[in-house]
Homo-oligomer: A and B are copies of this chain.
Amino acid sequence: MYKLDQTDWGIIVLLNKDGRMPSAEIARRLGNISARTVTNRIEALSEHGIMNVRAIVNPETVGYCVMADVFIEVEPGHVREVAERAAEFPQVSYVACATGESDVSISLRVRTIEELFDFTTEKLGKIPGVRRTQTYLLPLKIKDLDSWLPPGVFAS
């Protein structure tokens, strides 16, 4: 496992707030480090897959206001295929295989309740191996995945 030091975490925390912050500014804030080193560290962190710096679109602002979770029950032996087929749809923002009540758990972003209905009945429901879908609206999001940092890093 790639070993992160205090400087790496400092860079990550700053870029988690503002991914466009120039290396020079990061160097200035952290102190005792050159802009070049910051740039090198960012490249290393990306190459090792520790972090990705990327633009995340806020769906509400572009008209995708309806957020829902769909839990899919799958014919035994087809879980991974169904998960991969579901992931191909652009309306699907998240796909994971689950244990327990459902077999595949997905998140959707659509514009209207009609789109939600059409997508689940006409697209998801017709993936071979899907036995049942259950759709639950998520009327309020309190915290989002892109803000996740390991516990303890905040205190660094």
Chain A residues near B (Cβ < 8 Å): 1-2, 4, 12, 15-20, 42, 46, 48-59, 61-69, 73, 76-77, 79-80, 83-84, 86-87, 89-102, 105, 107, 109, 113-114, 116-117, 120-122, 124-126, 130-154
Contacts and interface: CB of A to CB of B under 8 A. Distances in A.
Given A63-B150, A94-B148, 16 more contacts: A15-B55, A17-B54, A54-B56, A54-B146, A56-B145, A76-B132, A76-B133, A92-B143, A93-B148, A97-B140, A100-B136, A101-B101, A105-B136, A105-B138, A113-B139, A146-B146
Contacts of A46: 20
A99 to B, nearest CB: 4
Contacts of A98: 69, 136-139
Contact of A76 (B66, B95, B125, B137): B125
